[in-house]
Amino acid sequence: MSVILNALVDLGYILIFPGFLFCFLCGMLLCGIERKIVARMQKRVGPPILQPLYDFFKLCGKETIVPTVANKTVYLAAPIVGLAALVVIQLFIPVFNFTAFAGNADIIVVLYLLLIPALAEIFGAAATGSPFAGVGLSREMVTIISCELPLVLVFLAVGKAVGNAIGSGVVFSLQTIAAYQAENGCLLFKASMIPAAIAFLLTIPGETGMHPFDAAEAETEICEGMLAEYSGKPLAVYKLSHAVKLLTLTSLFVALFLGGLGTGILLVDGLITFFFCVVVIICVVALIDASTARLKIEQLFKYYWTVVSGLAAISLILAWFGL
């Protein structure tokens, strides 16, 4: 009997709370808020908050044109695989010491799972065979490489800082990080963690392909880059996975750096996390989006591998010497 119950509860986690429905709604909401804030920063009224939802359903209603040259199966399967991986990451991220699937909620697993959505987009673009998509995927891959170094340094720094405090050498499991933060306050207030937090925040726009770092899908230069040949439902799923990726990364930031502020009740914690995500979005992601122009791809790479990685390296060294 308890096995069935467990299975049901697990299914509930997958479908409802940290799983699909939560990601779908909160991701769209977050994306809507972000677009509205960017518009307000440009003295525009900006679209209604639910605009991404309208976009999603409109795209669902549109006809899907698969180019004759494209490889049909990969063309249709790629967006769904990307979305699935994102939802799995969301399940691993703890919401103030509650994690749906704690078994192996490990930073390195999250780091590698973050690769799958980007890869899904790349192979989707490759399958279409359009030259715009080719250029787009080459730029997306360079963006992934450039975002990888800072992410690695940040995760190692966090692992080391928590490891020092707990004394068990190194900690990679997100659950122990959340538990540590539950007792003695969120990690952000430690001296060594501030540069890491900044570095992670600067990586979020790069990882999700937001404005200044969206050389991969620059609609002016290479006609929507990787998604040039996508229309209808696959495009809707890609737009959805963009939104969910934004949610995943910000909730990862909240889990890593703003850990200890949860109350324990699942729903309230969820709302608090979402509130923090919105605050992060407003004061960082939207601000960068509204006030900068698009970077060329090699400037993006140089920027990430010098400035942002430098910040993360500083925090790693500080964490190493026990701050």
Partner 1 sequence: MFKKTIIESTGKSPWLFHINAGSCNGCDIEIVSVLTPRYDAERVGFKLVGSPRHADIAVVSGPVTKQSLPRVLRTLEQIPEPRCIVTCGSCPQSGNVFRDSYSVCGPLSKYVHVDVDIAGCTPKPEAIMDGLLLAAQILAEKKKTGNQEATLPNPYAPEKTAEEAKPAEEKTEEKGEA
Partner 2 sequence: MDFPFVKQAISQLFSKPSCDMYPFVPIEAAPNYRGRIAYDPNKCIGCGMCVRVCAGKAITLTRTPAEGGENITLTFDLGSCTFCNTCADFCNDNAITLTTDYHMIATKEEDLIVTGTHFKEKKKPAPKPAAAKPAAPAAAATPVKAAASDAPKAEAAPAAEAAPAPAVQPRDDGKPVNDPSKCIYCTLCAKKCPQEAITVDRKAKTWELNADDCVGCGTCQTACPKDAIIM
Partner 3 sequence: MSNLLNYIHFPIYSVMVLFLGAFLIVVLGKNKFLRHLIAVLAAGISLACMIALIKPVMLNGEVIAYWMGNRVPAGGYAIGIAMEVDALSLFFGLLISTAVFVSCVYSVQYMSHDENIPQYFTLFLMLAGGVMGLVLSGDIFNMFIMVEILTFAAVALTAFRNKVYGALEAAFKYLVVGCMGSTCILAGVIMLYANAHTLNFAQLSGIIPGMMSNNSVKIAFALLFVGFSTKAFIVPFHPLAADAHGAAPASISVLISGVLTKSGIYGIIRLTYFLFQTMGLGSFQFLLVFIGCVSMFLCVTMALAQHDFKRLLAFHSISQIGYVLTAVGLYTAIGFSAGIYHALNHTLFKGLLFLAAGAVLHETGTTNLDELGGLSKKMPHTTVLFLIGAFSISGIPPFNGFASKWMIYQACYEKAVESGNIGYVLVTVICLVTSVLTLASFVKVSQSVFFGRLPEKYENVKEVPWGMRLAMGMFAVLCVITGLFPNLVGKFLTHPAATAAFNANGYIDAMMGEGYASSALGPFMNSAQNVVFYEAGVWSPVSWLLILCIVLLAVTIVAVTGKYEKVNALATGEPDAKHALFFSGEEAVYSQVGGSDLFWGFKHNWRHYFSFMHDLHSGILNDYALWAVVALSLAMLFMLIVL
Q: Is 176 exposed, middle or buried (0-12, 13-18, 19+ CB in 10 A)?
A: middle
68 binds, among partner 3, partner 2, partner 1, none (CB under 5 to 8 A by kind): partner 3
Helices (H), 167-286: 174-183, 193-208, 219-222, 233-257, 266-280
Which of 199, 202, 210, 228 forms a contact with partner 3 (CB under 8 A)? 228
Q: Is 158 in the site for partner 3 (CB under 8 A)?
A: no
Which of 229, 245, 270, 276 forms a contact with partner 3 (CB under 8 A)? 229
Phi/psi class of residue 70: alpha, beta or left (left: φ > 0; alpha: ψ in -120 to 50)?
A: beta
Which of 5, 45, 267, 293 forms a contact with partner 1 (CB under 8 A)? 45
Q: Is 172 in the site for partner 3 (CB under 8 A)?
A: yes
How many Å apart are CA 202 and CA 283, to the nearest integer?
A: 12
Q: Which of residues 81-100 bind partner 3 (CB under 8 A)?
A: 81, 83-85, 87-88, 91-92
Name residue 187's amino acid: L
Under 8 Å between Cβ of 86 and 23 = yes
Here's the x/- map for partner 2, 278-307, by CB under 8 A: it reads as ---------xx-xxx--x---x---x---x
For the chain, give the longest Cα–Cα distance: 59
Name the minimum Å distance from CB 220 to partner 1: 7
Name the minimum Å distance from CB 125 to partner 3: 8
Residue entry with tokens 């695989």: 81
Taking the alpha carbons at both ends of the chain, their separation in whole angstroms is 49
How many Å apart are CA 255 and CA 178, to the nearest integer?
A: 7
Name the minimum Å distance from CB 38 to partner 2: 9
How many Å apart are CA 235 and CA 60, to the nearest integer?
A: 8
Q: Which of residues 65-84 bind partner 1 (CB under 8 A)?
A: 65
Q: Is 78 in the site for partner 3 (CB under 8 A)?
A: no
55 binds, among partner 2, partner 3, partner 1, none (CB under 5 to 8 A by kind): partner 1
How many Å apart are CA 302 and CA 174, to the nearest integer?
A: 30
Binding footprint of partner 1 on the chain (CB under 8 A):
35, 39, 42-48, 51, 53-58, 60-65, 132, 218-220, 222-224, 227-232, 235
